[in-house]
Structure 1
Amino acid sequence: MKKQIKSVLILSCLAIVGIACSSEDTIEDNILDPTIAIEVKKKEFVTNYTNIVFASYADALNKLNELKTAVDTFVATPNENTFQTAKDTWLASREPYGQTEAYRFYDGPIDGGEGEPEGYINAWPLDEALIDYVTTGTGGQDLSDDRQNIINNKEKYPSLTKETLKELSGYDSNESNVTVGFHAIEFLLWGQDNTQPSEKMAGQRALTDFTTATNAVRRGEYLVAVTALLVDDVKSVVDQWKPGASYSSSFLAMSSDDAITKILTGAAKLSKGELAGERMAVAVENQNQEDEHSCFSDNTHRDVYLNAKSIDNIIHGSYKNTDGSIVSGTSLLDILALVNNDEATALTATASEVMNKVTVIFTIGYFDNQLMDETLDNFNNPIMSAVLTLRKQGDELAQAGKSITGNTIDPSV
């Protein structure tokens, strides 16, 4: 009996050892299996992306809360110091928000479905004649329309509330009928930029527009309401990207390939179609400073850099918070190097070239002044040189998406 028990114990031990060895072999095989390694990296990339998205939108919201405080203070006590602080805070709020623009174009919380907030946040170009007085002969609004010049039309709009302004934005399906968002606030703070591009000056709205001028009080009421609305709209996006929130959770739950297709759709479309096309080449083609993104404050040179940076953050898997801390992890380049190292090398070089070129635009400053010296067919000057490389980057991002997921991405908008 003892011999039989001993034999059983020996066989059991051998079986356990065999299972252990088999398990170790499986783990080692999994580690060495490139397909499994790629899948792990894909998941890491998607998770890192959601962390970066939330961090950048949260930074934008924090800065907009600071803007709301500055605007409320200015309207309550309008003087040159509070006026300048409100302008400076608007510029500061553009820094993190500009780095969120690559999170668009794939029906996410920012621009997916009816009532999308993006049109209320960053819509441009706007026809400022709808909001307030403009220089004679400027603005495209039909003055026979009794809805014109909201601030001065007390009978039609006795109360300037968030709800009223939001309802008016985009009326008659006219995209230039923008009454809310960053650029409505920008216009109210700076006024029209009627100087020649060679003068290198932003809008010069007088402080008296908020103190002694006609409808000064209503102008302040409009500014307060539109700033509060912007905070609300950006907060609605932040809330959907919070860890554990409905959209954030569903994004992480979808297949890695589907999530990556969305991520690279946003990055590719911003690079080639939107930034290189609508925001840069169109302005050069029309030779019109009204076509620049932030035409009242002359901050477009900075917008261009920040929008390009939003793409670069995805490519390199890293975002620098406004407090100086870093959110980082697996990058697009990490995955692409495993799938197609040649494409990863090419995209690395192109991304570096893009950032170098938009840095030149930012360093020179005054985008309206720069565009007057450029033409669409000359790629040797700063703007069109950057346009050419941004287009190339958009195509390479689309190709990266196909190589990684097998899905086709159209980088145009």
Structure 2
Amino acid sequence: MNRSFIKALVIAVPLTLAGVSCSKDKNDNTNVTDIEALKKQILADAANIVCKASYQDMFDKAQALKTSIATLNTTTNDANLADSQNKWRAMRTTWEQTEAWLFGPVAEDQIDPRIDTWPVEFNDLESILSGNQALTPEYVAGLEESLKGFHPIEYLLWGQNGNKTAAQFTVREKEFLVSLTANLVKLTTEVRDSWSVDGYDKQLANAGAGSTEFTTQQAAFLQIVDGMSGICDEVANGKIKEPFDAQDPKLEESPFAKNSTIDFTNNIKGILDIYQGRFNSDGKGLEDLVREKDLSLDADIKSKHAAAIAALNDITIPFGEAIVTQQSKVQNAMTKIQALFNVLDGDLKTFVQKNVK
């Protein structure tokens, strides 16, 4: 998803007063009423244009995956397998972006571990497949977290080595795949409804004005910043570092589809989505408030974000191979993501604490 990093800006900075520091790139004459309205709009757009819209998008893509897998189940050929793999990747893209705002019901209701626990031990999946238990949606719902969600579906669609063909599917594998996908749809329905039906969107949008979840606007803004910095920490110090330090591809996030580096990139892309208040359409984001007060901070966030994306793009082979043969590139990605974390968890958090009450 393309994002414009720098909005058009014309600035005139008077330099006639000696000894005056120009640490900020905009003046402080913006109407206070306008700033307060902007803060409210940022929270409303974060709730509706970003969070609620993204979870609707994920639900829609889960439905598309379910339909594709139903077709694969009845007409098991390589073209239908490729379609299901593409539908999995499409849904995965949205999910990974939403991990930059992983707060609220998706965390509180434990949907995240039920949908995306990794790594997956494929031997455990094979034990289920070799058994005689009916692989119903109810059975799948009762499985431990690592045996349902994205990654068991990934394993069934790609196989252990990532080169599965349609002819290799067993009847039981397809039965399991159908029920796993039904469970995935159920979980995405829960997430969507928690925002659009149960009203979490209003909790965020009305922070400091009747919200029981966020009694101040500052609490809501800090939650957004923590989501942004939190995914940096998880990617750099968990998703990348753990398999890198252990030199063990089995610890990577999406090994069967060879999708791990794409996952990491979408995680980091999601940070700019929530910062700019954009998903499938444009809104107001934290970016707009920061640009009213400190353009240098805005530029720092965007330059470090771009550097993190570039470092991930520099990894040119599947992540499980890169941790062995492109170690300097993997290390550089961790370093750049950590630098982004530092400015988000440090300067941006301090900015919010100073400018939002």
Normalization by structure 1: what TM-score?
A: 0.72
Q: Show structure 1 runs of 5+ residues with no match.
A: 1-30, 133-148, 171-177, 194-202, 211-215, 322-326, 376-380, 408-413
Q: For residue 92 of structure 1, what is the aligned residue in structure 2?
A: 90
Match of 2:331 among 384, 390, 393: 384
Structure 2 residue matching 1:125: 3-state secondary structure: coil
Distance 2:247 2:353 in 1: 40
Any residues of structure 2 matched to 1:245-324 within 5 Å, and which? 245-255=198-208, 256-271=217-232, 273-319=233-279, 321=280
Distance 1:58 1:365, change over 3 A: farther
Distance 2:130 2:135 in 1: 11
Q: For residue 320 of structure 2, what is the aligned residue in structure 1?
A: 368
Task: Say whether 1:331 aligns with 2:325.
Answer: no
**What is the deviation of 1:405?**
2.6
Q: For residue 6 of structure 1, what is the aligned residue in structure 2?
A: none
**What is the deviation of 1:221?**
0.9
Task: Say whether 1:351 aligns with 2:298.
Answer: no
**What is the deviation of 1:47?**
1.4
Structure 2 residue matching 1:131: 3-state secondary structure: helix
**What is the deviation of 1:269?**
0.6
Task: Say whether 1:44 aligns with 2:44.
Answer: no
Distance 1:394 1:41 in 2: 25
Distance 1:371 1:101, change over 3 A: same
**What is the deviation of 1:128?**
1.5
Equivalent residues of 1:305, 1:355 under 8 A apart = yes
Match of 1:164 among 139, 147, 151: 139
Task: Say whether 1:218 aligns with 2:172.
Answer: yes
Task: Say whether 1:111 aligns with 2:107.
Answer: yes
**What is the deviation of 1:259?**
1.0
Equivalent residues of 2:45, 2:283 under 8 A apart = yes
Task: Say whether 1:121 aligns with 2:140.
Answer: no
Equivalent residues of 1:74, 1:83 under 8 A apart = yes
Task: Say whether 1:403 aligns with 2:351.
Answer: yes
Match of 1:152 among 130, 136, 155: 130
Q: For residue 3 of structure 2, what is the aligned residue in structure 1?
A: none
Distance 1:245 1:328, change over 3 A: farther
Letter in 1 for 2:320: D
Any residues of structure 2 matched to 1:62-81 within 5 Å, and which? 62-81=60-79
**What is the deviation of 1:183?**
0.6
Distance 1:314 1:41 in 2: 15
Distance 2:200 2:276 in 1: 24
Identical residues among aligned pairs (%)? 26
- State the Cα RMSD in Å: 2.1
Letter in 1 for 2:69: V
Equivalent residues of 1:339, 1:403 under 8 A apart = no
Letter in 1 for 2:115: I
Distance 2:65 2:206 in 1: 35
Task: Say whether 1:204 aligns with 2:163.
Answer: yes
Letter in 2 for 1:126: V
1:211-234 alpha-carbon deviations (Å, 9 max, x no partner): xxxxx2222111000001101101
**What is the deviation of 1:406?**
4.9
Distance 1:283 1:332 in 2: 33
Letter in 1 for 2:181: T
Distance 1:301 1:186, change over 3 A: same
Q: For residue 179 of structure 1, what is the aligned residue in structure 2?
A: 147
Equivalent residues of 1:357, 1:382 under 8 A apart = yes
Letter in 2 for 1:150: I
Structure 1 residue matching 2:244: 3-state secondary structure: helix
Distance 1:275 1:299 in 2: 14
Distance 2:30 2:259 in 1: 49
Distance 2:308 2:100 in 1: 15
Normalization by structure 2: what TM-score?
A: 0.83
Structure 2 residue matching 1:249: 3-state secondary structure: helix
Equivalent residues of 1:65, 1:231 under 8 A apart = yes
Q: For residue 58 of structure 1, what is the aligned residue in structure 2?
A: 56
Task: Say whether 1:188 aligns with 2:156.
Answer: yes
Distance 1:192 1:71, change over 3 A: same
Letter in 2 for 1:119: P
Equivalent residues of 1:209, 1:219 under 8 A apart = no
Equivalent residues of 1:333, 1:348 under 8 A apart = no
Equivalent residues of 1:308, 1:358 under 8 A apart = no
Letter in 1 for 2:157: L
Equivalent residues of 2:44, 2:204 under 8 A apart = no
Greater length-normalized contact order (CA 8 Å, ≥ 6 residues apart)? 2
**What is the deviation of 1:299?**
1.1
**What is the deviation of 1:125?**
0.7
1:353-384 alpha-carbon deviations (Å, 9 max, x no partner): 222222333xx241222221245xxxxx3222
**Larger Rg: 1 or 2?**
1
Distance 1:403 1:98 in 2: 27
Structure 1 residue matching 2:147: 3-state secondary structure: coil
Equivalent residues of 1:70, 1:82 under 8 A apart = yes
Distance 2:304 2:46 in 1: 21
